[in-house]
Structure 1
Amino acid sequence: MKQLSFYLSGERPVDQVLPIIMRGAMAKGQRVLVVADDEADLDRLGAAMWNANPAAFVANGKASDGHAARQPILLSTECIAANGAAVIALADGRWREEAEGFERALLFFDDRQRDSVRAIWRRFDDREDVEREYYAVEDGKWVKKA
């Protein structure tokens, strides 16, 4: 992993802010694996990407639905990039060691998860091979804080 980006959604649910980043990834031609433990969370995230901006929807599908290799944004409970993704988005605020196998990892979290995510940030303090970034939502846009 070369880059680790932290995304604080604040009081907003991740499904309201994740589509902004996924839209940008698609515009760059990137494939992304979005991971969460809960199937219901994956369903909400998928629906949000299809419906957040009807003029600029984010095409996606769940790994469990088949055709995983064709999905530009693949939603899964496992850290397996069947779509060839180089980017992993951990959408539930939980770090997974498998994320280090991707070029870039995005960790989305809300206000309730701040303390546990701070511990993850500190885990990478001495890692010169990993560039860290921190973003927060302000007025509906992601703003880089660190």
Structure 2
Amino acid sequence: MAEVLFYHLDRQPLDRVLPGLLEKCLERGWRSVVQLGSEERLEAIDAHLWTWREEGFLPHGTSKDGHAAMQPVWLTAGDDNPNEATVRFVADGAGLPDPAGYQRVVMLFDGNDNDAVDRARAAWKEVKAAGHDTTYWQQSDQGRWERKG
């Protein structure tokens, strides 16, 4: 069974949270795929990951770059997994995939968007009923992630 994590974004937007989570995956030697809800959002996150930190960038690729097997992080608006990632991130309205193909699935949702919260609640119920390990994370007032469930 996969571990499914739900990250409730209400203090920081996706573009501030995602790079740090991807860096942790890279530090652990995990390959990741990030599924976004649209091509426009994919392009914005793609550009952001190249410049999000002054002292470096986060190595990643998209279908425009090719060479998927060589990419530690792959960005997509589809359900593909061409870099054989074991961790899948879904955000910006992308649907939760079948977690069975991954060790870990991370759903990042905007807590200020009622539709996103409703989708996350429905996904939580679905994966919980399927027997997957689920955890819910929310940021504290200090900006640290706290496990809430």
TM-score, shorter chain, exceeding 0.5: yes
Structure 2 equivalent of residue 132 of structure 1: 134
User: How far does the alpha carbon of each residue in 1:97-119 deviate from its partner, in whole angstroms, 9 at most, with x for none?
Assistant: 34432221110100111122111
Task: Give 1 or 2: higher helix fraction.
Answer: 1
The more displaced of 130-139 and 70-79 is: 130-139
| Count of residues paired in the alignment | 145
Letter paired with 1:135: W
1:44-123 correspondence to structure 2 within 5 Å: 44-55=44-55, 57-111=57-111, 112=113, 113-123=116-126
Letter paired with 2:119: S
Structure 2 equivalent of residue 12 of structure 1: 12
RMSD after superposition: 1.9
TM-score, normalized by length of structure 1? 0.86
In structure 1, runs of 5+ residues without a counterpart are none
Report the Cα offset of residue 120 of structure 1: 1.2
Secondary structure at 2:58's aligned position in 1? coil
In structure 2, runs of 5+ residues without a counterpart are none
User: How far does the alpha carbon of each residue in 1:41-92 deviate from its partner, in whole angstroms, 9 at most, with x for none?
Assistant: 1122223323222335321111232111111110011222111101110022
> What is the percent sequence identity of the aligned residues?
30
Letter paired with 2:42: L
Secondary structure at 2:10's aligned position in 1? coil
Letter paired with 2:136: Y
Matches of 2:39 and 2:147, distance apart in 1: 30
Contact 1:50 1:58 in 2 (8 A): yes
Matches of 1:145 and 1:53, distance apart in 2: 29
Matches of 1:137 and 1:43, distance apart in 2: 26
